[in-house]
Structure 1
Amino acid sequence: MQSQALIKEQTIASPARRSACAHEASILTDIYDESVNLAVWQRHLSRQVTADVSGFIKTANHLDRSAFIRAQHIEDDVRDELKRTSLGDDFISNTSELVDMFCTLFDLEQVGFRIRLLDLPMCPRSHIDRVPCRLVTTFSGQGTQWLESDSIDRSKLGHGSQGLDDSVSGLYSTEASIRSMTTGDVALLKGSAWIGNEASAIVHRSPPYITGEKRLLLTLDFLS
């Protein structure tokens, strides 16, 4: 386990990072900018996809599917994973497009695919992901929250929080430091396994739980 002194030293040495947000899908290519550790495409879901998701949310009690999706068979593989749900063609097509974008952007032959229906906080405490890069999007419910690198004290992550909630641990100075994605936003989160980003991974968390809310969350990952 690292000492607090070492964690503090790494925090001081961490290069500045920022988020990049826009209404065009092309913003996702900014993830290759060394100064960017989060790229967010602020998109609006079509009425057809929204209706598809709303119908599913009303009747579903559980969904947690994980799979490998092949770049050469994306729609077939996605359709196979969702065949036991009421999610229809519009949702499958939209999701397949995201997988295709992820594969193309990073030149991947297959990706790790996971889709979950959540009615409790998944990661309510701020953390980093020990992956190169992860795609996250919420089709229903609140979006993921993040902190800009210039507003946080990384020594308060993990054990450094001493078990305290983010709001009192000293991780960030004010509640205004918390930024939130909205339903439909597509984000690329650069993790600590991205070369050169070991000490600067984006710090993020699940949004606060709202009673009765169901979140439909999709994540895509590199495969080892």
Structure 2
Amino acid sequence: MPMTAAVSSLPASPTAATHWAEGGGIEVLPRIFEDAITLAVLRRPLPYDVLAGALAQTQARHPLSFAWRGEPGDALRAALREALHCPVVCGPLVEDIQTLAEAMAFLFDTDEVGLRLRRLDAPMCPRFHCDNLPVRLVTTYLGPGSEWLPETAVDRAGLGAPHPDKPDIVLADAAIQRLEAGDVALLKGSGWIGNEGRGLVHRSPAMESSQPRLLLTIDPA
């Protein structure tokens, strides 16, 4: 299906009937604690200095795959500086990741977080699915953002391993939504107590071979 025809952006003003919230201020992220909300999105443009660090990771000869678990702070900064390509331009990117890790730890009252930063040259999870974990922070620094479905466009009987007898997951292609590069999203999964069977349905976006993606995910540990 052509990406330009099938994918739309988030609605400008969610109504009370929706299960997502979005806005340009940090105060939107705690809305993930509302029972009805399964997606909270902070819409933000990325500063040029952060983009410069991200671009260095996508242009390097060797793909970046960084995984870390611990308390956000100087240890995370040091680990990032050691792992990132072209560290001389990566200071703002490191601080942005640090800020998001601190925010995740604060929001979910945990000392540690699990973090992964990866350059992706192909979709990681191209099939629509929902995670069994409680919650995950997702942001794409470069490249297309994650795609997700409003609940009204999902047939959950089609989720899981593909099988010829299963129905299509997507009820309406035009309902597919996409996060933008720079957006910070909290995705509530089926492992969230009280959200069993209602995890946000999402997938990795289709990608052009010339357009790698730099993806950060953070989980409360």
Query: In 2, Cα distance between the equivalents of 1:78 and 1:210?
Result: 31
Q: Could you say which residue in structure 1 is the equivalent of 2:129? A: 127
Higher helix share: 1
User: What amino acid sits opposite 1:77 in the alignment?
Assistant: L
Gaps of 5+ in 2: 1-16
Name the SS of the counterpart of 1:131 in structure 2: coil
- 2:150 is aligned, of 125, 148, 151, to 148
Deviations 1:9-52 (A, max 9, x none): xxxxxxx8611111112110100010000101111111111122
**1:10 alignment counterpart:** none
Distance of 1:126 and 1:66 partners within structure 2? 24
The answer to whether the 8 Å contact 1:17/1:150 transfers is: no
Could you say which residue in structure 2 is the equivalent of 1:197? Answer: 195
Give 1:53 deviation, angstroms.
1.5
Residue matched to 1:210: 208
Task: Show structure 1 runs of 5+ residues with no match.
Answer: 1-15
| 8 A contact 2:105–2:220 mirrored in 1 | no
Partner deviation per Cα, 1:130-185 (whole Å, 9 max, x = no partner): 111000000110000000112211011013x4259xxx942122211100001011
Deviation at 1:81, TM superposition (A): 3.5
Code of the aligned partner of 1:183: A
TM-score by length of 1: 0.84
2:30 partner SS: helix
Distance in 2 between residues matched to 1:220 and 1:143, nearest whole Å: 15
Letter in 2 for 1:147: L
What's 1:3 paired with? Answer: none
> Offset of 1:76 from its aligned partner?
2.8
**2:5 matched to which residue of 1?**
none
CA spacing shift, 1:60–1:186, aligned 2, 3 Å: farther
Q: CA deviation at 1:55?
A: 2.8
Classify the secondary structure of the residue corresponding to 2:56: helix
Give secondary structure in 2 for the equivalent of 1:104. Answer: helix
| Residue aligning to 1:99 | 101
Alpha-carbon contact 2:138-2:217 (below 8 Å) kept: yes
* Distance change in 2, residues 1:131/1:82 (3 Å): farther
Give 1:79's aligned residue: 78
Q: Which residue of 2 aligns with 1:69?
A: 70
Shift of 1:108: 0.8
Q: After the TM superposition, which parts of structure 1 deviate over 6 Å for at least 4 consecutive aligned residues?
A: none
Q: Which amino acid aligns with 1:206?
A: S
Inter-partner Cα distance in structure 2 for 1:17 and 1:193: 20
CA RMSD in angstroms comes to: 1.8
